[in-house]
Chains A and B, each alone.
Chain A
């Protein structure tokens, strides 16, 4: 459960707009960072990276029904700038496939982009500390997915998806003069929201932990394989540092 999977119609409009706005800003910054690079090379690299992530996300693991994302691997191989754009491209295609909402593409890209960037950052730190590429990549993956899942929960908490706010707002305004009752109702709403969030967080962390372990194992294996076969792909080159 790395990317959000939040369907359309769940999140409030300001959050959707903020997600799209921030994604546009980060894509712009990524493009600015890649401005001096060979455009044809950048396009071909982002294209294959997106294809690899899409490939990983389209293959469910038998019995578990989980799919890997390879966002951390994308960060390891391509760096944050190309990786972020590849994350956007992948999420856009997935959104059009009803795999996560179209309106949530912005927020999904922010979360997966966070995974790509953090994956790149943590991998660079850990590969010096841990000798085996498998261990460095696997540990990076677990840390990144823990952070990104918490970020996703932060989004859910921040959106204040609250049944009473959505269905009984009109009732509250009708009884606005009964301020004491309104305050009590708001307090009850807050309590319910926290309870719902706790239940949701419990489900997400419980299912997520299994997913992180699988993702870590796969990303670790892929990284180790690449380290043995094509170590140059894991070496930071000036072209991938952006």
Chain B
């Protein structure tokens, strides 16, 4: 899971899905996710999967990466399906296909929509402390991963993490320890910045969106139609 690359794709991509309004993509993704989950037969699961692939195709060249991301839940769905594959192969297949569809919806959304926009939507339904921590935690992640990469580079330049897996894990543990110590300092800095900027109740996000365009309406209509179709097949 390369969060940095995902963020890069979402922020700098130039595809029809990137141009769509965030709330439209979130709504369409929610409908497609519901369709993927509601599909209870192999036919319905297959139809939902095809519909999701068509949706994801609008991200053009990124499709390959989003499909790769969607294979991660497929692996874990396969573990679940393993127990029932002999008794009912179709059920096992349905579980795996549903996991793929749901994973592809999520990966398409996050690789075409900046996290700030997704969080702005999600955080409206959450307490202020949680939504603020969500924003700041995601931001902090990128600071810490840069630091971790620098430390790992330094370890490699000084001869590596040691011989044997146990020694290497201990070295990586110490490297993580350094990052955690620095994260404690970062917490203190963050706290001071928040106080200086007058933080009291909530970090406000006052972003205004342009009116929906034809593609946005099409996206919503498409996702709604897919959900209706899957519910009919059910």
List residues of chain A with CB under 8 Å of any chain B CB.
5-10, 27-28, 31, 34, 39-52, 54-59, 61, 70, 73, 77, 85-86, 88-90, 92-103, 156, 161-164, 166-167, 192, 195-197, 199-200, 203-204, 214, 217-222, 224-226, 229-230, 233
Whether the pair A166, B91 counts as a contact (CB closer than 8 A) is yes
Question: Nearest Cβ distance between residue B214 and chain A, in whole angstroms?
Answer: 27
Within 8 A of A (CB), among B156-194: 166, 169-170, 172-174, 176-181, 183-184, 186-188, 190-191, 194
Contacts A27-B130, A46-B133, A164-B88; is A99 near B138 (CB within 8 Å)?
A: no
Can you name 11 extra interface pairs (CB under 8 A) apart from A5-B76, A55-B144? A9-B95, A39-B200, A40-B191, A44-B187, A48-B186, A51-B140, A89-B137, A94-B1, A163-B87, A220-B173, A222-B174
Determine if B148 is an interface residue (Cβ-Cβ < 8 Å): yes
Name the contact of A34 in the complex, choosing from B129, B135, B181, B195 (C-beta under 8 A): B129
List residues of chain B with CB under 8 Å of any chain A CB.
1-3, 6, 33, 36-37, 39-41, 69-70, 72-74, 76-77, 79-80, 82-84, 87-88, 90-92, 94-95, 98-99, 101-104, 106-107, 109-110, 115, 118, 122, 127, 129-130, 132-141, 143-145, 148, 166, 169-170, 172-174, 176-181, 183-184, 186-188, 190-191, 194-195, 199-201
Contacts A89-B134, A229-B181; is A96 near B118 (CB within 8 Å)?
A: yes
List, in ascending order, chain A residues with CB within 8 A of B88's CB: 163-164, 167
Question: Nearest Cβ distance between residue A130 and chain B, in whole angstroms?
Answer: 17
Contacts A8-B33, A97-B106; is A54 near B92 (CB within 8 Å)?
A: no
Whether the pair A97, B107 counts as a contact (CB closer than 8 A) is yes
List, in ascending order, chain B residues with CB within 8 A of A192's CB: 84, 87
Name the contact of B91 in the complex, choosing from A47, A163, A224 (C-beta under 8 A): A163
Whether the pair A48, B137 counts as a contact (CB closer than 8 A) is yes
Complex-state Cα separation, A90 to B172, whole angstroms: 21
Contacts A95-B106, A102-B106; is A42 near B183 (CB within 8 Å)?
A: no
Question: Nearest Cβ distance between residue A129 and chain B, in whole angstroms?
Answer: 22
List, in ascending order, chain A residues with CB within 8 A of B95's CB: 9-10
Contacts A27-B130, A46-B133; is A99 near B72 (CB within 8 Å)?
A: yes
Whether the pair A199, B82 counts as a contact (CB closer than 8 A) is yes
Whether the pair A197, B6 counts as a contact (CB closer than 8 A) is no
The 4 residue pairs across chains A and B that have the minimum distance between CB atoms: A221-B173, A196-B83, A225-B177, A9-B98
Contacts A8-B98, A200-B82, A229-B181; is A86 near B194 (CB within 8 Å)?
A: no
Complex-state Cα separation, A46 to B194, whole angstroms: 14
Contacts A40-B199, A225-B177; is A7 near B92 (CB within 8 Å)?
A: no
List, in ascending order, chain A residues with CB within 8 A of B133's CB: 43, 46-47, 50, 85-86, 89
Whether the pair B84, A163 counts as a contact (CB closer than 8 A) is yes
A-B contact pairs, 22 of them (CB 8 A): A7-B99, A7-B102, A8-B103, A8-B106, A10-B77, A31-B130, A48-B137, A48-B184, A50-B134, A51-B144, A51-B183, A54-B138, A61-B172, A98-B104, A98-B107, A166-B40, A167-B90, A192-B84, A192-B87, A195-B83, A196-B83, A224-B177
Complex-state Cα separation, A5 to B140, whole angstroms: 24
Whether the pair A57, B129 counts as a contact (CB closer than 8 A) is no
Complex-state Cα separation, A28 to B126, whole angstroms: 10
Whether the pair A226, B180 counts as a contact (CB closer than 8 A) is yes
Question: Nearest Cβ distance between residue B186 and chain A, in whole angstroms?
Answer: 6
Complex-state Cα separation, A214 to B166, whole angstroms: 8
Question: Nearest Cβ distance between residue A220 and chain B, in whole angstroms?
Answer: 7
List, in ascending order, chain A residues with CB within 8 A of B80's CB: 6, 10, 156, 161, 200
List, in ascending order, chain B residues with CB within 8 A of A52's CB: 144, 179-180, 183
Complex-state Cα separation, A193 to B203, whole angstroms: 48
- Looking across the interface, which residue of chain A has its beta carbon closest to that of B103? A98
Whether the pair A103, B37 counts as a contact (CB closer than 8 A) is yes
List, in ascending order, chain A residues with CB within 8 A of B70's CB: 98
Complex-state Cα separation, A166 to B45, whole angstroms: 13
- Looking across the interface, which residue of chain A has its beta carbon closest to that of B84? A163
List, in ascending order, chain A residues with CB within 8 A of B135's CB: 47
Whether the pair B138, A226 counts as a contact (CB closer than 8 A) is no
Complex-state Cα separation, A103 to B79, whole angstroms: 18
